[in-house]
Structure 1
C-alpha cells in the first residue's frame, strides 16, 4: 500500500523525475570511467583523493559524479570515506540491471524525446536516431553498434532464462514438427534441436531476420533439421503453413497491437489441426513476483512506443487470454512464472467448434 506523502516529500519525488535523465547519465559515466568499479574494490571505503590519484579522470569529474551518486544512493559517504551502496552494487554487478541500463542508454535514450510525437502519430518516431525503417524489426540485423548488441542482449536475457522449463513443457508430447514464429536469430530453435534429436523446426520470420537465422543454423550444422519460411504476419494474405505439431511464439506477440495479435493468432488457428498445440510465452507485467520486474516491464512498453513500432506493449495475463479466445483459441493450460524467469506460458488449442 502506498504511503501518503507530505507536500515536501511529493515535491522531492517530482524532482527525481524532473532530473532523472541527468542522474541516469551520471551513473553511466561513473560506470564507464571505472569509478564505480574502483570504489567497489575497496570494501572498507576509499577517499576521494585516492580515487583521483588512481584513475585517469579529473578531480572535477570525480567530485561531481560522487556528489550525484551520493544523492541517488549509489554510494555512501561518511567522514570523507566513500563506499559503494547496495544500490550501487546492483548497478555494477547485477546482470538484469546491466542489460536494462545498456538497453535504455544505447537503444532508447536518444529516441525517448520523441515519445509525445510517437503517441500522436502512432509510429515509433524515436527510431529515426538509429535508422530509417518503419519499425525496428526490419533493421534489427543491421542496427548500429552498440545498439545492436544491447538490443539482442536485452531480448535474450528476457527469454533465455525461460528455456529450460519451457522445453520440458513443449516437448511433453514429443512433437515432430515445430514452427518457431518470429524465430529471430534462432536461439529457441537451436535449443529445441539440442533438447530433442528427432524434432524438425521451421522458423517463420521477416526475410531480413531469416538471413541471420540461416547463417546461425549453418554455423551449427543444423540446416538439415531447420527450415525457413519468410512471412510478414501483418499481411493478411500471407498464411502460416499447415503441418505443425507445435506452433511456438516466444516474446513475439508483445511486438503487436491487440488487433494485430488477434490477426496473427487467427492465422495460427487456421494453420492448426486438431492435434496442434499453440504455445504463447510472455512476461506479463501484472504476473510478477518482484516489483523490479513489474517496473521494468511497464517501462519496456514505452520502448515499443518510441522505438519499436508505435502501437504495441507488454500485456496483462488476462488480456492475452481474451485475445486468444477472440482468435478462436482455447487456453487449456497456464504455466505461470516458469523456472527462474519472468515468463508465463499459455498452452492453447483450436476450439473444437472451429
Structure 2
C-alpha cells in the first residue's frame, strides 16, 4: 500500500495534515458549489481570467456569497488569482475534463457524502446506516433502478465507467476459450452482454441478478436488439439454496463479488463451483487495492470501500488480491490464469475446480 498523502515527511507536515483533515469537507463542498454555479466551467474557458463582476453574472450569487466562496476557493487552490482576476486551476481543469475525476466526484457528492455521516453507526452495526439518505433498506441494490436523480445517474456512471474501461481486454481473453454459453452473475444493466454480442454473434448468455435488475436487463436487451441471445434468471444468491440448474462454458462475474463480505463471497463461489464442469471456467473481473498503477488509485479504492460499509450493504469492500485469492481457494477453486494491468485497473482471474 502506498504511503498516505497526508502523512508527510516531518512532524510539521503531519501537523499541517492533521489541520487539513478538518478542512476537507469544506474543500469538497466548495468545489461542488463552484461546479453547481458554473464558476469552474466559466473560468476554464476564460483564458484571460474573469473579474468578480463577471462571476456575479455567471453564478447569479449575491455579492457576499460569491466573496466568501471565492476566498475559500483561492485558499484551497481550486482557483488562482492574478492581477485582480480569477483563473481556473489545474485541479478545476481535471475535475471538469478527466472522466474518472469527474465521475468519482459526482459519485461522492450525489451518492456518498450525506450517507458517510453514518459511517460509525455502520461500522458498529455492520449495516448500511447511511442508506437512509437514499431511501433506506437492507442494501442499495434493490433501490438502484428507482433511485432519484442525480444519485441514480451518478451511481450507474460510476459503476459503468470502471467496468467499461476493461471489458474489451477481458472479452478478448474470454473469447479465446470459444464459449458457446456464458452465465453472467450480477449482470447489473447488461452492458457486458451488449459488448460480448458485438464480438460474437453466436454466443448465448444467461444473466443472473435480482428480479428488479432482471426486468431492467430485459428491457435493455430488447432495446439493443439482442433479446434472443440473452435469457434472464432472477435469483437471490444469498438465499440458502443452490443455483438454478444451468450449463455454461464460462461463468462470468464482473465487479460483483466486491458487493459481499468474505464469508458470502466463499458461499457464492461454492454455489457456482457446484455447477461448474471440469472444462468450464469461472472468470472474475475485479478491482483490487494494492494493484493499481498509481498511488491515488489505491487511495480511491480504499476510500470507496467505505461506500460499501456506510451505504451499499454494511459489510463488503474492495479486497486486496492476495486475500481474495484465499477466498477462491477456500471455496474449492484455484486460479489458473491471472491477467493484470487492464486499462481500468482491473485484474481478471480465470478459475477452475480445484484438483485437490
TM-score (norm 2): 0.95
- Please give the alpha-carbon distance, in whole angstroms, between the structure 2 residues aligned to 1:243 and 1:42: 59
| Residues 198-213 of structure 1 mapped to structure 2, 5 A cutoff | 198-213=202-217
Asked if 1:244 is matched to 2:242, the reply is no
- Please give the alpha-carbon distance, in whole angstroms, between the structure 2 residues aligned to 1:4 and 1:55: 40
Is the 2:39–2:58 Cα contact (8 Å) retained in structure 1?
no
Structure 2: which 5+ residue stretches go unaligned? none
Is the 2:206–2:233 Cα contact (8 Å) retained in structure 1?
yes
- Please give the alpha-carbon distance, in whole angstroms, between the structure 1 residues aligned to 2:166 and 2:57: 45
Is the 2:252–2:282 Cα contact (8 Å) retained in structure 1?
yes
- Please give the alpha-carbon distance, in whole angstroms, between the structure 2 residues aligned to 1:41 and 1:190: 37
Aligned with 1:64 (options 65, 68, 91): 68
SS in 2 for 1:19: helix
Aligned length: 351
Q: Write the deviation string for residues 114-165 of structure 1: whole angstroms up to 9, x where unpaired.
A: 1111011100000011113210011111111111111000000110010111
Q: Write the deviation string for residues 313-338 of structure 1: whole angstroms up to 9, x where unpaired.
A: 00111111111111111101110022
2:26 corresponds in structure 1 to 22
SS in 2 for 1:224: helix
Q: Write the deviation string for residues 161-201 of structure 1: whole angstroms up to 9, x where unpaired.
A: 10111110111011000000000111111111111011000
- Please give the alpha-carbon distance, in whole angstroms, between the structure 2 residues aligned to 1:298 and 1:240: 34
SS in 1 for 2:283: strand
1:316 corresponds in structure 2 to 320
1:89 corresponds in structure 2 to 93
SS in 2 for 1:83: strand
Tell me which moved more, 196-205 or 80-89.
80-89
1:350 corresponds in structure 2 to 353
TM-score (norm 1): 0.95
| Residues 257-272 of structure 1 mapped to structure 2, 5 A cutoff | 257-272=261-276
1:328 corresponds in structure 2 to 332
Q: Write the deviation string for residues 16-58 of structure 1: whole angstroms up to 9, x where unpaired.
A: 2112112211111111101111111122322323323454222
Asked if 1:4 is matched to 2:18, the reply is no
Q: CA deviation at 1:59?
A: 2.1
SS in 2 for 1:77: strand
Provide the aligned C-alpha RMSD in A.
1.4
Q: CA deviation at 1:62?
A: 2.1
- Please give the alpha-carbon distance, in whole angstroms, between the structure 1 residues aligned to 2:182 and 2:95: 39
Aligned with 1:123 (options 127, 134, 144): 127
SS in 2 for 1:281: strand
